[in-house]
């Protein structure tokens, strides 16, 4: 089993990358988020998931271990295949996906192309407890204080604010001062919304 591939980026598109490692070119399916991070790079290290079936042997690559962990959780849900999981991870960042599942926000998941209400609810029910255990990092690789941020986002959503703007406001407040308590983060976020 392949854990990761580290090599030169020979070809890059929004849907896949070809990495050359040891004089072998690996065609790796990627998310749009991974594509945007790789754009302009000459080398990469992608964490790999191998999807082996009778029809094909496909590789899915992820820039971070947390993105791969979320992918593995998504494909464990009945009715969510590897391509659907990749579409979800192309539409939502790992932190956005985690927050949507933990807060039970069906609307955010339904906003992803190809995800209906029943599938969104199934993802939330099946993964709510499991996804909280995944330590998602922000772009700088600093672990997020998920419980404080999730509580603040959930409170803002309950107050009637949309998930995405609430999450962005909470993230901005948290970046400025990560020592704030939930109530303080909510108050500061309300000023931005």
Grouping H, G, I as helix, E, B as strand and the rest as coil, residue 113 is coil
Pairing relation of β-strands 57-62 and 24-29?
parallel
| pLDDT tens per residue, range 42-65 | 999 999 999 998 988 999 999 988
CB-based contact 167:153 (threshold 8 Å): yes
d(CA 88, CA 91): 5
| pLDDT tens per residue, range 159-180 | 778 878 888 888 888 888 877 8
CA distances, 45 to each of 82, 85, 175 (Å): 20, 20, 27
Residues 6+ apart with CB under 8 A from 150: 98, 99, 102, 103
CA atoms within 13 A on the CB side of 1: 8
Distance of CA 187 to the CA centre of its chain: 27
Question: Pick from 5, 63, 70: which is nearest to 33 by CA?
Answer: 63
d(CA 168, CA 74): 23
Domains of the chain by range and CATH?
Answer: 4-63 (2.40.50.140), 65-135 (1.10.150.20), 145-193 (1.10.8)
Q: What percent of the chain has pLDDT over 70?
A: 94
Mean pLDDT by runs of 10 across the 193 residues of the chain is: 94 93 95 87 96 92 92 94 91 86 90 89 93 67 57 78 84 83 83 81
Structure tokens at 112: 């992803």
Question: Pick from 141, 29, 43: which is nearest to 89 by CA?
Answer: 29
Residues 6+ apart with CB under 8 A from 154: 102, 103
d(CA 41, CA 93): 20
pTM of the full structure: 0.69
d(CA 42, CA 154): 40
């Amino acid at each position: 089993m392949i854990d990761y591939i580290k090599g030169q980026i020979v070809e890059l598109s929004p849907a896949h990358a070809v990495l050359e490692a040891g004089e072998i070119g690996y065609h790796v399916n990627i998310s749009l988020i991974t594509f945007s991070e790789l754009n302009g790079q000459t080398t990469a290290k992608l964490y790999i998931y191998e999807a082996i079936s009778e029809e094909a042997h496909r590789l899915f690559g992820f820039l971070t271990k947390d993105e791969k962990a979320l992918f593995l959780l998504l494909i464990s849900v009945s009715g969510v295949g590897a391509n659907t999981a990749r579409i979800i991870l192309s539409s939502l960042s790992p932190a956005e996906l985690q927050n949507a599942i933990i807060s039970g926000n069906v609307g955010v998941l339904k906003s992803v192309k190809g995800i209906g209400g029943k599938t969104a609810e199934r993802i939330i029910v099946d993964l709510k407890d499991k996804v909280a255990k995944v330590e998602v990092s922000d772009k700088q690789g600093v672990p997020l204080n998920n419980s404080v941020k999730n509580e603040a986002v959930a409170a803002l959503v309950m107050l009637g604010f949309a998930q995405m703007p609430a999450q962005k406001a909470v993230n901005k407040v948290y970046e400025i001062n990560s020592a704030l308590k939930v109530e303080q983060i909510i108050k500061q976020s309300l000023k931005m919304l």
